[in-house]
Amino acid sequence: MIEFEYTITDKLGIHARPAGLLVREASKYNSDISLKIGEKTADAKKIFSVMGLAAKQGDRTQITVSGEDESTASEALQSFFGVNL
């Protein structure tokens, strides 16, 4: 299991567009990928789950990646967050 933190810098937060891109990215990997902000946890492969987080700029997000391809997936996701959020 690999965990990392990312603070959302996008001023619009995780709205439909980045949420859709995130789900597409996360779905490339077999690992389970979750996002946690405060008390809310979301499955990064499910769009409704990610939208339900209503993540805003400045929110500290804990990303947990767990599975056989976790190191590749967490590297790709760190890069994804940096570029898109």
Interacting residues with other proteins (CB under 8 A): 12, 15-17, 20-21, 24, 46-48, 51-52, 54, 56
> Is 15 marked active-site?
yes
Write the DSSP symbol of residue 8: -
Catalytic pick from 5, 15, 17, 57?
15
In sequence order, what E strands does 1-85 have? 2-7, 32-37, 40-43, 60-66
Q: Closer CB to other proteins, residue 25 or residue 70?
A: 25
Cα first-last separation, the chain: 23
Q: Closer CB to other proteins, residue 18 or residue 65?
A: 18
Catalytic residue positions, numbered: 15
